[in-house]
Amino acid sequence: MQTLILSLHVIVCVTLVILVLLQAGKEGMGVIFGGGNASVFGSSGAGGLLAKMTAFMAVLFIVTSLSYNYVSSSHKAQESTILDVRLEDTPKPAAPAATVPATPAEKPAEAPAADKPAN
């Protein structure tokens, strides 16, 4: 179910972006700074196929967002993640191995002398 909702959500997101980019601006930069006397939706009102499709996709976007949030949070009790692990359950780190102190270089072993008898 999560995969279905997430796939639909991605499709709606891409469609919504495309629909917003297809719409023409009303009067350019002058409207932003108070220039022009057009109403918020222009002189023709909030009509048009692109505006209606954009509003529908925006509502569908919100619905898929909320439904995915609801579905994914209801499965949280059943699944455990790495964030659910409590500190008491984690293994304690092992103590570091004792290090041997560095000693000066040892003299090479002396070869037995020829005049000493071997035992």
In a domain, residue 14? The reply is yes
- pLDDT value of position 22: 86
**Angle CA(79)–CA(81)–CA(83) in degrees, nearest 5?**
140
In a domain, residue 68? The reply is yes
- Ranked by mean pLDDT, which of 5-9, 47-51, 70-74 comes out on top? 5-9
pLDDT reading at 8 higher than 60: yes
In a domain, residue 98? The reply is no
In a domain, residue 114? The reply is no
In a domain, residue 6? The reply is yes
In a domain, residue 25? The reply is yes
In a domain, residue 87? The reply is no
Cα torsion 83, 7, 68, 81 to 10°: value is -10
- Ranked by mean pLDDT, which of 45-49, 51-55, 102-106 comes out on top? 51-55
| Residues of the domain holding 51 | 1-30+47-77
Task: Give the torsion sign (CA, 23, 26, 28, 33).
Answer: negative
pLDDT reading at 62 higher than 80: yes
22 vs 77, higher pLDDT: 22
In a domain, residue 64? The reply is yes
The count of domains in the chain is 1
Report if pTM > 0.85: no
